[in-house]
Structure 1
């Protein structure tokens, strides 16, 4: 996709903008049933079987594979329900900014959150869930608003933050069985991804006049 096409897709109110939002929404809605299928398989095998096999177990070698697998696993239906709606919401707007950089951003968020949890998480826990990715997308949208000077992304992040303000405290240490480390590091991973994969404006084409190419006007 050319820079001009990407710009059109991010221009609020344009046809391309609403089309990109619609496609992203459909794609994210297709992801969630896969998570429900995985949870159904886990329940069929015996609740928690896949969680232990594919979750992050901090500072243990057999828990390293959870860095990649844990976002797809959940500790029960309630956990999955709680993550599904915000995942669709923030994922839609993150994906609408471009598929390729969405995929790269998701990978960065998963790695930053997962590796961080493996190093500093509770060694007596098994960490699963997509909430680190959800916080990562929130950080991505918020930071993208600044680095790309996009009031639209900043507004979306602020709106979602207001909707889920009661969850924001989960990035701070708590006695609850919640991986605040994964939430905080996911958020920071999203900020890093927004900076690393920011949309760069093309440089102006130099001209014989020593500056930018002149604008031609018909008489």
Structure 2
């Protein structure tokens, strides 16, 4: 039987404290750790081309040739400091987002990238080239918070609160600033994560409705 977004066939993996839950969390952590070396390899290649990858694959607002950056920009970073700053948060929020299910994680990531990237392209500074995974990171944070609300999951809310406490000093980056950061990507990534949590939510099974006009249980 095919399992949809709302199917609870894998319910044990989403229930805190169970063995499948910890197994799912461990696999998600290993997977996200494997993503980071790929980002470092991309940065090595970018340095080798003297930053040409950033220009070729970054989002250039209002310019058609910058639209491909919607897909490629999360894999690019403006130097090692930028990449270091995104690596650990990406592992943390990505692990908890992925532990909720690989299929909806992939679709949620794509939707976050689309909303964040297109938003930056429409309202970003036309004189900038936007790169970095921070829009996706904020998207996963929005995903966890909203998922906790719509699925009534204290676990997801607790994780989001914990990560928020760790990185509270970064949350102001969703507001307009004169700093050379894409606050638009952060804000729209957060929004994209909230939308993804609603669209790809796991629905609870409905309780069976009582039968009306059923057979006489007492006999004649």
TM-score of Structure 1 vs Structure 2, range by shorter chain: over 0.9
TM-score w.r.t. structure 2 length?
0.92
Q: Quote the residue 1:181 is aligned against.
A: 184
Q: Distance in 2 between matches of 1:94 and 1:4?
A: 17
Contact preservation (8 Å) 1:6, 1:98: no
Report the aligned-residue RMSD. Answer: 1.4
Matched position secondary structure for 1:107: helix
Q: Does 1:29 align with 2:33?
A: yes
Question: What SS does the corresponding residue of 1:113 show, helix, strand or coil?
Answer: helix
* Cα-to-partner distance string for 1:157-182 (whole Å, 9 max, x where unaligned): 01100100000000000110000000
2:216 maps to none
* Alignment pair present for 1:197 and 2:200: yes
Counterpart CA distance in 1 for 2:131 and 2:110 is 16
The Cα offsets for residues 43-72 of structure 1, whole Å up to 9 and x where unpaired, read as 1111x1100000000000110110110000
Q: How does 1:110-129 map to 2 (within 5 A)?
A: 110-129=113-132
1:100 aligned onto 2:103: yes
**Secondary structure class of the residue paired with 1:117:** helix
Distance 2:132 2:35 in 1: 14
After superposition, where does 1:104-183 map in structure 2 within 5 Å? 104-183=107-186
State the 1:10 CA deviation.
1.4
What's the offset of the Cα at 1:206?
5.8
Compute the TM-score of the two structures, normalised by the length of structure 1.
0.92
| Whole-Å separation in 2 of the counterparts to 1:147 and 1:9 | 18
Q: Give the number of equivalent residue pairs.
A: 209
Deviation track 1:10-45 (CA, whole Å, cap 9, x = no partner) reads 111110110000000000001111000000011111
Aligned match for 1:14, one of 15, 18, 21: 18
> Aligned residue for 2:61?
58
User: CA–CA distance in 2 between the matches of 1:156 and 1:58?
Assistant: 34
Segment of structure 1 superposing worse, 5-14 or 90-99: 5-14
Q: What is the distance in 2 between the residues matched to 1:100 and 1:49?
A: 33
User: What SS does the corresponding residue of 1:24 show, helix, strand or coil?
Assistant: helix
- 1:205 deviates by 5.0
Q: CA deviation at 1:102?
A: 0.3
SS of equivalent residue, structure 2 residue 181: coil
Higher relative contact order (CA 8 A, sep 6+): 2
